[in-house]
Structure 1
């Protein structure tokens, strides 16, 4: 009984640890600058939506928002399309070559992304992809592909090979087996991977900072830096931007949480 209450206490403290910064960010977004500096932890007086109105009227935040949507959706769709094909091929054919290919992708997980910054910048500049959202999508796809293949390959391990073999005996091509059997059965795993990739790309600051120079092509994380001044930072506006940036991730997780949990459980059942 004592251990049960101790466990609840630990969970309560952990929840408080998560809720306190969340409270600070959300409440501060409804404060005026003077009220924020006078009482950083206090309740907004007056409670105002002025920061949300100002961030879209005075700033080109709508443009930055759609830039992030374009980059994130483009990256996630291409990642899932290519990553699922590669993971399916590794799972389906096996053998030494498949293990070698999978090993190459695993090696890509070992190298930190920061190590590749100079080669990536040099290559994208030579290819004319610098300061271009489509170039940013392609670079993000390349950087995240090892992780995508690693996740999807583990998920596809739970697929029933007998079903695929039965389809093959009935005359189905590998493409039909992939499109009509493997993908539908992997839907929860794809949703889990998509959620994970969405969060990573949506919040990414390093690669956009490396490649994007034009103000009109900034993504939301880069746009947040505009609220930092040399002598003073507009914290209420900055935290309002943080809330706006977090809303799409929260909404997406609420809609996909069932598939996310199912996909994670599927990937953990088979060793």
Structure 2
């Protein structure tokens, strides 16, 4: 009885930790900026959706939204494409060569992004890719690649060797084994990596702040900084932007949640 009650209490507390801040964000978007400073935690005196209209019109949110969408989708595609091939090579090499290649990407996960900022800026500048979405995509791809390799390679290692050997005996080439056996079986891990990387890139502020300067190249998180001033911050407008920015990630998770759960539990099930 005590154990069941404790679990329910923890679930309720955890739910409140999520529901209360989200509710405050939603309520704040329905207030005017003046009324927010008069009553920050209270209900709005008059519900208004003007904040959503103003943030789209005044801040060109549709342009920044599209930039974030391009960067996020491109980064996810490149990360999954390259990481899946690298993971397949790690699975097929075996022995110390496989461990060495896998270890290189593990070391890449250990290095914080701040350590590489100065040399990375120099490389991007030398390539003439500063202040461009292409440069931002390439930087994001190389930065998050180790995490995707870690997820996908760990899953591919659980693929039964008998399936690979059977494909080889049937005359399948390495490319055919990769495309028709390894990739379909790794779909849960790929979906898990896609959600994880998608959230990271979509919400990333560091790299856009470092590599993007033009207003028309800004991503969504970077554009929300425009509403934060030295003496005044328009929180209702910021929270409206945050609410809009969160919708694509919610939709992504709704469509891929089955694969995400399968990917997270695959290792335990196969163990």
Which interval holds the TM-score relative to the shorter structure? over 0.9
1:225 maps to 225
Could you report, residue by residue, the CA deviation over 1:199-231 in whole angstroms, capped at 9, with x for unpaired residues? 000001111111001111000110010000121
2:214 maps to 214
Q: What is the rounded CA distance, in whole Å, between the counterparts of 1:191 and 1:47 in structure 2? A: 39
**Residue 133 in 1 paired to residue 129 in 2?**
no
State the shift of 1:104 in Å. 0.8
Q: What is the rounded CA distance, in whole Å, between the counterparts of 1:10 and 1:98 in structure 2? A: 43
2:17 maps to 17
Matches within 5 A, 1:52-201: 52-201=52-201
State the shift of 1:170 in Å. 0.7
Q: What is the rounded CA distance, in whole Å, between the counterparts of 2:157 and 2:243 in structure 1? A: 38
State the shift of 1:158 in Å. 2.1
1:29 maps to 29
Runs of 4+ in 1 over 3 A off after TM superposition: 267-271
Q: What is the rounded CA distance, in whole Å, between the counterparts of 1:88 and 1:111 in structure 2? A: 24
Q: What is the rounded CA distance, in whole Å, between the counterparts of 1:167 and 1:7 in structure 2? A: 47
Moved more, 204-213 or 152-161: 152-161
State the shift of 1:18 in Å. 1.4
Could you report, residue by residue, the CA deviation over 1:174-199 in whole angstroms, capped at 9, with x for unpaired residues? 00011011111111111111000000
**2:59–2:223 Cα contact (<8 Å) kept:** no
State the shift of 1:270 in Å. 4.3
Q: What is the rounded CA distance, in whole Å, between the counterparts of 2:255 and 2:239 in structure 1? A: 25
Query: What SS is found at the alignment partner of 2:75?
Result: helix
2:254 maps to 254
**1:158–1:269 Cα contact (<8 Å) kept:** no
Q: What is the rounded CA distance, in whole Å, between the counterparts of 1:170 and 1:156 in structure 2? A: 20
Q: What is the rounded CA distance, in whole Å, between the counterparts of 2:105 and 2:268 in structure 1? A: 20
**1:189–1:267 Cα contact (<8 Å) kept:** no
1:242 maps to 242
Q: What is the rounded CA distance, in whole Å, between the counterparts of 1:255 and 1:204 in structure 2? A: 22
Could you report, residue by residue, the CA deviation over 1:79-138 in whole angstroms, capped at 9, with x for unpaired residues? 000001001110122121111111111111111111100000111111111111001100
Query: What SS is found at the alignment partner of 1:236?
Result: helix
Aligned length: 271
Query: What SS is found at the alignment partner of 2:23?
Result: helix
Q: What is the rounded CA distance, in whole Å, between the counterparts of 2:17 and 2:219 in structure 1? A: 29
**Residue 41 in 1 paired to residue 32 in 2?**
no
Q: What is the rounded CA distance, in whole Å, between the counterparts of 1:110 and 1:264 in structure 2? A: 21
